[in-house]
Each structure stands twice: as structure tokens, then as C-alpha cells.
Chain A
Amino acid sequence: MFSLESGSGFWNPILWIFIFFIAFLLFYGIRGFGKSAYKKDTDQTKAFLSGNEESSAEEMHVKASNLYWGFTTSMKTVYTELRKMHTGNASDYVLWFVIILAFLFLIIGVM
């Protein structure tokens, strides 16, 4: 009753929630065997920077626009083209509209 069936597969969310819940209880219990104490506010809790000095929070903050450098660099050609396409000019928006309109007129009108 609770199972979603597309023509090609199954998915039963309630079952998965039960499994998740039971495994959660099991592993929370296993985790409790570990040690939870640590020495707070000593050198232990400072970030590990291979011995370098830790600067202020603003300087250590990795900004969000620097993330995914690997992905954007390997797709550099695609991204330059995409950024050039999004000019922000209102007449370019209408130009794209007219281009698609003409294109579809040709396809549907001719066929």
C-alpha cells in the first residue's frame, strides 16, 4: 500500500524509514561504547594547520565563490560561453525570444 510503483521499479519510503530507525538505534548504541570525553579549550581543539599560526576568522574563511575550483576550471570553455550569453541586456532577452519564435515558426510551419 505504501509502495510507489512506476512501470519499471519500486520505492517504499515507510520501509526505508523503519530500517533507518532500527539501524540508528543499533549504531547509536555501538557509538556509546566509544569515549566521549576530551580536553576542552586546550591546544587539542585548535584546528590542525601543520604547525602554522592561526590568523583571525576573516582571513581563514574560505569564501564560497572559491569553491569547486576543480570543476569550473575543467569546464572553462563552457562557462565563458554561458557567462557571455547572460548579458543582462533587456533587448537581448527579447532577441532570444524572437530567435526561438522564428526557429519554431520554421519547424512547425514548414512541417
Chain B
Amino acid sequence: MNIIDVLIEQSPALIIAIPLLGAFLMPLVSRINSTVRNIFGLLVLCLTGFFVGILASDVLANGPRLYIFGAKDLAVPMVRILFEVDSMSIFMALITMVLAFITLIYSWSFMKDHDGLDKYYTLVLLLITSTLGMELTGDIFNFFVFLEISCIASCALIAFWISEGEALEAAFKYIVVSAIGALFVLFAIGLLYAQYNALNIATLANVLKYTFLDKIILVLLLVVLGMKAGLVPMHMWLPDSYGRAPPSVTLIIMGATLASFYGVLRVIFTLYGNVLSTTMRFSIPLNVLVGWILITLAIISIIVGVAMALVQSDFMRLIGFSAVAEVGYMFLAIGAGIAALGTPYATTALQGGILHLLNDALDIGLLFLVAGAVYYITKKRSLDDISGLARNMKYTTVFFVIGLLAVVGMPPLNGFASKFLIYESVYQLNPILSIVAILCSILMLAVFVKVFYAVFMGPELPAFKNVTEAPRSMLLAMGVVAALMIFIGLFPNLVIDALVKPAADALLNHAQYIGTVVGGV
């Protein structure tokens, strides 16, 4: 076996271990020099990215890969922690790595003048570790551990600008909501263990019978993970924390939010995959009920998200509300895919939802980067105070226009590709859903055109006569994200065939996921 195969075998553990080690070494390295610290962070992320890349090429070609902590082979009883990486997990890991790289490059100039940067980079690497762990793990208690790590690291990062009282308040609300949610998840895991005496997702999925306690567990997991992903009406922590955290941090917290969304997918499609067709009272199968619950909450999310975003006057809080609306689009597609499981348009809806995951991470990420650049130059948060920046900040304006067109879903950018798939599959379930989705897309356009006018156009106020362009590493980060968005928009087929179709198939094919663990015994 050559060296690449050995590395691929060990890569699931290394993907978690390398950023974790980097996080713990970061305070020591920071004592030397700030440039050495920046280079060290980049090296850690490059190494992790390399391992994610080779693991992705293996998983997309050969199917799910298993890594057992502490033993060479599977043995009954399954007490080891297992990492099971299938195409959906590695898709999420790729998104997380892209967000991580962009955050790091952006932070170099954005956070340059702050104190306590060693703690900042430590926490960022810890948050990246926990997000990757949530996505790669195959053990539900391990998922809870990584969820807790991400809660604590996010809370500390949201409160990073301690000198502003609102950041502390946002972090406090975040930790209250997340800690209560995590406790309920622990309760659900305890119920699972008490019933089935196993913690491994594949083993549990194999033996799950739909008892009354299982119904409780499903509701607990769905509601908590939906709350962490930003589903209305439990979304209110999201604009608070996204609006007050440093924008480079918001990107990684968005990665954690998307990992909670991935948790919802894992619970419904894999953990409860075998029992999704059980019929309940009034002969409604479980998947129709769960799907319609998610669709209802998603439609309310989209409407409330854009309606509240239309009246905000704080830049980053506005983008936070539109992030709630975009999460609503994702849940709409997934809910339609679950409710119509088995029909061809359900697969299209699932593919649209998964592509929208990637697009949303990039679009909202670019908008937050631009908001950060504007804050860095003008030190103002409210849209009423800024004006006329397009005269001096030309590149930032162009990137904002690209982000605006993409988040609204205008052709030919990437937002249109995923919204196209969503509209043209969801209407087959019920036409009203597609209508609300199209309408809220236009409302999103109104929101961001208002921001475009307020920040970039308008008269030249004397306070902003001499603003300069944003620093170069920030422009580089924005440029990379914009280039990715244009590429996905112009060649949607390439991305869908290479990444999204295998991920959707891996979700629908829960027998393969279970068989990798249980069949191998």
C-alpha cells in the first residue's frame, strides 16, 4: 500500500486531530511573532484541507469510509467511537474548509489592530475542529460532544468585541439558547441508549423500532437542531449574534449552523431511515408528517426572515435576518424531499436543497465580508450613517453587487441554479409553496437594493470623503468567494454531478450507511 492509501485510511482522525493540535499550540506560537502565528494558522488549515481533499476523492469514488478509534476491526459489542464518512459528510466538510480558509485570510487584516488575537485564533481553530467533528462522526454521543464544543467556542467568539456591551448580550443569549438545546439533545441520547444499548448511528438505525420513546426522541432532536439552524420561531438568537460578532467569525459560526442542519438530515434520513414509511393514525406515513412540519416551519421562516430584514437599519443584523430566510429555503427543499420520498421530484428537491446549502454559505458569507470591510473602513454599523462609498471603494461595490445578485437568485449566478431546482420540484407537491418562495425572493431583492443604495450610493458626506479601499487580504478573500460563486453559477452541472448528486444519493441510500458498520461484523 503506498503512502496515499495509508494517509486516506487515517484521514478521518487526522482531520480532527490536526486543527485540534493547532488550536492548542496556537498560544505558544503566538508568543513568537504575529506573522509566524498567521503562517502557522494557514499551515494547519492547508494540512487539514489536504486530508479533506484526499478523503473526498476516495469517498466519492468508493463509498462510505469507516474509521474506528482504538481498534483495527469492528467487533461486537460496538463500544468504540466510529467515524463514518459518506458523500454527504464530505460535502459538508468541504464547505467548512472553504469557509475556514476565507475566514483566516480575511482575519489577517480585519483583526490586525486588536488585542488577544492568540485567543481569537485558538477559538477559531477549535470551532473549525468541532464543526468538522459534527460532520464526520458516526456516533451520536460524539456528535453531542462536538456540538457542545462549538457552542462554547462560538459564544466566546461572539463576545470578542467586549468593549461593546451588545456583543456580550448577544453571546449571553446565544449560550442560554444553545445550552438548553444541548441539554435536551443529551436527554434524547440518554433515552436512545437506555432503549437500545448502543450509541453508534448505524447500529441504532438498524435496530430502531418506532416506540413511543422514539417519537419523543425524534421531536427533541428535530426541534433542537432546527433551533440551532435558525428555524422560526426559534430563530431570534441568530440576528442578535450574527449582528454583533466580528464578521470574520460569523462565517465560521455559519459553518456551525450548517452543521446543525446536516444533523437534521442525518437524524431523519439515516437514524430514522428505516421507520420513515411506518403509517400512523389516519394512515399518514411518518415521512409525510415530518416533511409537512418542516415545510410549514420553513415557509414561516422565509416570510418572517425577509419581512423583518426589510425594516432593519443595522447592516449586519439585516444580513442575519436574510440568513434566516435562506435557511428557510433549505428546509423547504428538504421538507419537500422528505414528504414526497420515492417520487423523482423528491430527489430533485433534495439536490436543490443541498446545492442551496453550498450557495447560501458562499452568498451570505460574501455579504458578511463586505459588511465587515465597510465596518473596518467607516467604523459605523447603521445604514443611516453611511453613504456614497462607491466613489472610493470600487472593488467592494462590485463584490457587493455580485453577492446581492447571488443571494436574490438572479441568473446567471449560483443562487439561481439552486432556486431553479427548488421551485421546479416543490411546486409538484403544492403550488402555494413555490409561489411563496418566488415572492420572498423578490422581497430579498428589495432588502438588498436598499442596502446597496444606503451604503454605496447617495451623496458624498464630508465624513467619508477620504475613505480608502479595503485592505488587500480582505479583497482577496472576497474575490475568492465571488469567483467560486460565478463558477458554480456558470457551470452548475459540473458541481451537481460531482458533489451534490452523490450527497443526495448517500442520504437516500441509508441501507449503504448502515451496511458499512453492521454488515461488516
Question: Which positions in A face B, CB cutoff 8 Å?
Answer: 1-4, 6-9, 11, 13-14, 16-17, 57-58, 60-65, 67-68, 71-72, 75, 78-79, 82-83, 85-86, 88, 90, 92-94, 96-97, 99-101, 104-105, 107-111
Contact = CB atoms under 8 A, between A and B. Distances in A.
B313 A13 contact: no
B157 to A, nearest CB: 19
B482 interface: no
B505 interface: no
B411 A68 contact: no
12 contacts: A1-B493, A2-B493, A4-B420, A6-B420, A13-B411, A63-B454, A65-B384, A75-B307, A78-B307, A79-B311, A90-B177, A101-B220
B304 A82 contact: yes
A97 B227 contact: yes
Given A4-B417, A16-B411, A9 B458 contact: no
A110 B451 contact: no
Contact of B384 (A63, A71, A82, A86): A63
A103 B417 CA distance: 35
Contacts of A110: 281
Given A2-B493, A4-B417, A90-B176, A64 B216 contact: no
Nearest to B343: A7
A91 to B, nearest CB: 9
A2 B180 contact: no
Contacts of A101: 184, 219-220, 223
A87 to B, nearest CB: 8
Contacts of A8: 424-425, 427-428
A62 to B, nearest CB: 7
Interface in B464-521: 489-493, 496
B292 to A, nearest CB: 10
* Top 3 A-B pairs, shortest CB-CB distance: A64-B454, A64-B383, A6-B424
Interface residues of B, number: 68
A67 B457 CA distance: 14
A108 B176 contact: no
Interface stretch (B29-37, B234-242, B359-367): B234-242
Contacts of A61: 387, 458-459, 461
Contacts of A78: 307
B348 interface: yes
A41 to B, nearest CB: 16
Contact of B173 (A4, A7, A93): A93
A57 B462 contact: yes
Contact of B176 (A14, A79, A93): A93
Contacts of B284: 111
A94 B177 contact: yes
B193 interface: no
Interface string B269-294: 00000000000111010000110010
A68 B454 CA distance: 13
Interface in B352-401: 352, 383-384, 387
Interface string B202-226: 0000000000100110111011000
A97 B122 CA distance: 32
Nearest to A92: B236
Given A13-B411, A108-B218, A86 B308 contact: yes
Nearest to B490: A13
B450 A107 contact: no
Given A14-B491, A64-B450, 20 more contacts: A4-B417, A4-B492, A6-B348, A7-B425, A13-B491, A62-B458, A64-B451, A67-B450, A71-B310, A75-B307, A86-B308, A90-B177, A97-B180, A97-B223, A100-B297, A101-B219, A104-B222, A108-B215, A109-B216, A111-B289
Given A11-B420, A85-B233, A111 B218 contact: no
